[in-house]
Amino acid sequence: MHHPSLVDLTTINAIESLFRSTEPDPWGRKLAGELADLVAYSDLVRYALPLPRADMSDKDAQLPMLLRELLGGEPAVFSPARLITSESGSFNEEFLLPALRPFLAWSRLNGSTLRRWIRLHNESWIRSPHAARLPRRFSFPVAAVRELPEVLESAKSVDTELEDFLYAFDVILRYPLYGELAGPNRKYLNHPIRDAFPLPTMDLRTMPAPSVAISFKSAISKFAHTLSMQDYVRLLLDLRYEVQRLGLNQVNPGNVEIQHVRDIAVRFKFPPTLKVTGKWLAVVGGVAGGLGAIPVLGPGAAIAGMLIAVSGALWSGQLPRAAAGLSWFSWAYEWPELEREADTRH
């Protein structure tokens, strides 16, 4: 993934919603992990920037707070990919109905998810900047289908306003525009609502995800929502620095020894999972029998509280991030999402 990559603002807003909305984007956690890999391994991360006029400066655009934080941390890593909405061409209306039919089917099958996404996009911190970047509500002539009985019926079944329902359809129709903006053979981190179903005339072949030495996306998607926005941004930028420092962007998957993977997990406090081993079961027995049975673990005065917390987490498996820093207890930890990336040949 060493070439320039592209991310759209709908994706950025989805991740930002984890930190500022009471009802985050349904895909927000997944995208938070995927953005981590994109930032860590891309030479340059371009963000799609719709602007109503060509004479507007990039600085005139209202950017999501998360993007502003990333730009403030590493401005050289991020660059706008301008999309002038007044020059994006006309939509061939003969494809409107063929695109509408799968959207209606998808919306009926995913009503609660779509309803939640629409509610998020009606929050002022998303809607107001969108209105500034795109003065009209829709990019495409989706209003032409507003009176169709099947559209009215589907909007009603999803329990959402017709204008909001058509807005979601319009967002999906922009997918080919951003794909073209990304360029051939370039990674485009699109919001998943955009590829929920195939659009007419689009190439349906799927490209495999760019391979990276260690993927952080699965691990980070599980705990990103527990961070502050600032801590999430710092994690992404620090991981990028670590990838460059270790040369992880220069090697293929499966060519990193497992100890390096574990060192990264500890350094960046990835929440570990407990190994259910005989040694751990002996520890649990020691706790049950009294604290006098556990000095083998480490400094007794410092571990009693932690043992109680760890004991309670045994059956759920996942531990808090702070646990990753307790090196004396590392024999009981594992990071399955990261360790599966390691070289298992040795």
Secondary structure, 3-state, the chain: CCCCEEECHHHHHHHHHHHHCCCCCCCHHHHHHHHHHHHHHCCCEEEEEEECCCCCCHHHCCCCHHHHHHHHHCHHHEEEEEEEHHHCCCCCHHHHHHHHHHHHHHHHHCHHHHHHHHHHHCCHHHHHHHHHHCCCCCCCCHHHHCCCHHHHHHHHHHCCCHHHHHHHHHHHHCHHHHHHHHCCCCCEECCHHHHCCCCCCCCCCCCCCCCCCCCCHHHHHHHHHHCCHHHHHHHHHHHHHHHHHHCHHHCCCCCCEHHHHHHHHHHCCCCCEECCCHHHHHHHHHHHHCHHHCHHHCCHHHHHHHHHHHHHHCCCCECCHHHHHCHHHHHHEECHHHHCCCECCC
Answer for the pair 229, 19: CB distance below 8 angstroms, yes or no. yes
Tokens of 55: 């004479």
Mean pLDDT of the chain: 81
Rounded to two decimals, the pTM is: 0.83
For residue 299, name the pLDDT band (cuts at 50, 70, 90): very low
38-52 pLDDT, tens digit each: 999 999 999 999 888
Tokens of 221: 């998607």
| Predicted pLDDT of residue 87 | 66
More confident residue, 14 or 198: 14
Q: Per-domain residue ranges for the chain?
A: 1-210, 236-339
302-343 pLDDT, tens digit each: 444 444 444 444 444 555 555 555 444 444 456 677 777 666
